[in-house]
Amino acid sequence: MIVEIANMLLGGLAAGMVLFIVSVGLSVTMGLMGFVNLAHGGFAMIGGYVIVLAMNRLGVPFVPALLIGFIVTAAVSVVFERLLYQRLYRAPELDQVLFTIGLVFIMIATVTLAVGPETQPLTLPDSLQGQLNLGFMAYRTYSIVLIAIGVVIMLGLWLGFERTRMGAQIRAAVDNRRMAESLGINITRLFTITFAFGSGMAALGGGLGAEFLGLDPQYPLKYLVMFLIVVAVGGLGRITGVFYASLIIGVLDFTLKKYLPQGGTVFIYAMTIMLLLWRPQGLFGRPA
């Protein structure tokens, strides 16, 4: 019984950590600029492809490949942000939705043309394969590592958010952009940096999660709703909110898929609808 519950929790937490790593950037950028970015999953996909291709074709080890994925994706996203996104910050939502759906199509098509439509397999290094003995039970090493990475990233982000000047500026801008601007905070620069960092995180998530989320050109559309649900449930611009929301949804999804393979998704949709009706700002967001 305990083993079963632990199984559920560990598997769900590992999935939740990946959700968190991918979605955290989306939450912060949406909170900062109110920009509806449906292409965020696209950056996760680009990152995942860079990481997997670097490993499979160039023979780069796992950890350096993750770094390369982060840097390349962050760099690509800065180009997109400076050239395209920033023109639409004050545009109506519909234009933002259209623009980012268009961007998703472009990303999917480009990846299909450049790499091919098939799923890219991720081969984990030997040290991360197999089972880890936890004392009372054995569990997949990689899931445990994912949980550890997620916790470390969460702590790092929390410290960065709460204890650095940059983090304070972001928090100020999320709460009240105009006021922050009139205090002399350079919002444009702040946003570019946050956007790049968030996309880089998404890339990490794409690579780390490729093992069980899979990695194919349809990735950004397949998980779009999932990432959006996490952000909406967690509340915009709240790192801790996204963290808890990811874990809750990760564990729920994992458990439901195992015991209710048919109706699991229904439950998550229904829960999200109820929650957003009750608290439109999300579980951990502040009321507008």
Partner 1 sequence: MSATPVRSDNPAALALAVRHRFRLAETLPWLLALAFYFAFPRYLGFGTELLITVLFAISLDLALGYAGIVTLGHAAFFGAGAYTVGMLAKHEIWTEPVSGLFIAAAVAGAVGFASGLVLLRTTGLTLLMLTLCTMGLLEEIANMAAEVTGGFDGLDSLPIKPLFGIFEFNPLYPYTQYLYVLGVLLVCFIFVRTLVYSPYGHSLTGMRENTLRMHAVGAPVRMRLIVCYTISAAIAGVAGALWAQANAYVNLSVLGLDRAATVLIVLVLGGYGRLYGGIIGAVAYMVLAHFLSKAYPTAWQLGLGLLLVAIALFARGGILGMVDNLTRPYKERKAQ
The residues binding partner 1 (CB under 8 A) are 30, 34, 36, 84, 87-88, 91, 93-99, 101-110, 112-113, 117, 221, 224-225, 228-229, 232, 236, 262-263, 265-266, 269-270, 272-273, 276-277, 280-281
Kindly report the backbone phi and psi dihedral angles of residue 280, in degrees, each rounded to the nearest multiple of 5, phi listed first.
-60, -25
Residue 3 or 109 with smaller CB distance to partner 1 = 109
Residue that is written with structure tokens 């292409």 in the block: 39
Residue 210 in contact with residue 62, Cβ under 8 Å?
Answer: no
Q: How far is the CB of 242 from partner 1 (least distance, A)?
A: 14
Residue 153 or 174 with smaller CB distance to partner 1 = 174
Compute the residue count for the chain: 288
Burial 146-178 (b: 16+ CB within 10 A, else e): bbebbeebbeebeeebeeeeebebbbbbbeebe
Q: How far is the CB of 248 from partner 1 (least distance, A)?
A: 16
Residue 133 or 262 with smaller CB distance to partner 1 = 262
Q: How far is the CB of 25 from partner 1 (least distance, A)?
A: 16
Q: Tokens representing 288?
A: 């507008």
Residue that is written with structure tokens 């796992």 in the block: 62
3-class SS at 140? Answer: strand
Q: How far is the CB of 31 from partner 1 (least distance, A)?
A: 10
Please report which helix (H) or strand (E) contains residue 132, including its range.
strand 131-133
Q: How far is the CB of 282 from partner 1 (least distance, A)?
A: 8
3-class SS at 117? Answer: coil
Residue 66 or 245 with smaller CB distance to partner 1 = 245
Residue 134 or 266 with smaller CB distance to partner 1 = 266
Residue 38 or 154 with smaller CB distance to partner 1 = 38
Least Cα distance to 150 among 5, 19, 284, 285 occurs for 19
Q: How far is the CB of 152 from partner 1 (least distance, A)?
A: 29
Residue 137 in contact with residue 155, Cβ under 8 Å?
Answer: no
Q: Where does 164-223 have alpha helices with state H?
A: 165-175, 177-182, 187-213, 219-222
Residue 27 or 143 with smaller CB distance to partner 1 = 27
Q: How far is the CB of 74 from partner 1 (least distance, A)?
A: 21
Please report which helix (H) or strand (E) contains residue 264, including its range.
helix 264-278
